[in-house]
Amino acid sequence: MAPLTRRKLLGTVPVLGLGATALHATIPHSHATAAAAEHGGNAGVAATAHGGSHAGFRGATVDHEANGFNPHEILRDFDYGKTSTLPDGRTLREWTLAAAEQEIELAPGVTYEGWSYNGRIPGPTLRCTEGDRLRITFVNGSRIHPHTIHFHGIHPASMDGMPGVGRGAIEPGGRFVYEFDALPAGLHLYHCHVRPLAEHIAKGMYGTFIVDPKWPREKADEMVMVMNGFDTNFDGANEFYAANTIGFAYAERPIRIARDELVRIYLVNILEYDPINSFHLHGNLFEYFPTGTSKTPSELTDTVMLCQGQRGIVEMRMPHTGKYMFHAHQSEFTELGWMGFFEVVE
């Protein structure tokens, strides 16, 4: 039998919303998943499609505690580091980021060996202010793989986290201190840059890097969404899509926001294997600030498209209470996990 691929899985389900749910719930354990793909087992996933008002895992849930992270906590978790004041009066921020192999339950019963920074995928959201001095101690806790941290932004070549440049790849058990100034203000990211690059990114070695402008942004309910996906059967296509790793997490438990309150989403696309990703909001339009480098939005829209590494700030106020979906406007990604809801309350 042919391998079990995501398109094959989608082909077995009738309509958006019902099918993805059922097929996820019936996929067995990770090694079994890979094995099933290899040997063509586990094909009869369509039979269980029934019920449910929207996509999700229908009762079964991922064990966030066992994973060591919860997408609802990652959403509003900003890490400002350990701060001190330098002789010249500037703020020094220090972090330690450790890389490791980490087994993650992506969907109920579907485990995957990811590679993480500090035990979570995406890694910590590092946040600072324009002009701060940043010192990031990288500890490569991997048993076998060399890794780096490559930051987007302005810095010397020796701090770029590129194999073959400066200290280059950090060997298993090795450590290196990346140190540079926080420039420019904007929404950036960091990720490993060791080859094969697609694998190191697809495994989960990335995180958000926010440089706040010296002029403060308006107070808002702020959150981070890192759009990602996982190729669990290693066929070069993703089987699972999400914002912040766990598909349907924000559908099972919608994100509560207040009516008319300013919401600011730091939106990052790091998806591997698919050339493009997107974010679409129901029931409203939003202002979009590409890379977060300008005070002026580039457009008022309800959908933005992002290639890998592209990011931007989304700002909106929801005028009505109720449940509003957000999702990739590639319907396929939506059905495979990249969707959720805002619950707008008074």
Give contact residues for Cu ion (rule: CB under 5 A): 147, 192, 194, 200, 205
Tokens of 191: 């990720």
Instruction: Look at residue 281 and give its three-state secondary structure.
Output: strand
| Nearer Cβ to Cu ion (149/328) | 149
Nearer residue to Cu ion within complex by CB, 55 or 205? 205
Q: Which residue, 175 or 259, is less far from Cu ion as judged by CB?
A: 175
Q: In what order do the strands lie in the sheet with 206-212?
A: 126-129, 206-212, 186-191, 150-151
Q: How far is the CB of 195 from Cu ion (least distance, A)?
A: 9
State the nearest-atom distance from the C-beta of 82 to Cu ion, in Å: 25
Strands 339-345 and 322-327: antiparallel
Q: Cβ closer to Cu ion: 20 or 192? A: 192
Where would I find the H helices in the chain?
Answer: 6-11, 19-26, 30-39, 64-67, 71-75, 197-202, 249-252, 331-335
Least Cβ distance, residue 90 to Cu ion (angstroms): 31
Whichever of 161 and 340 has its CB closer to Cu ion, that residue is 161
CA of residue 111 relative to chain centroid, distance: 17
Tell me how far, at minimum, the Cβ of 174 lies from Cu ion, in Å: 12
Q: Which residue is nearest to Cu ion (CB)?
A: 192
| Strand 311-316 to 263-269 pairing | antiparallel
Q: Shortest approach of Cu ion to residue 124 CB, angstroms?
A: 16
Burial class (CB in 10 A: 0-12, 13-18, 19+), 167: middle
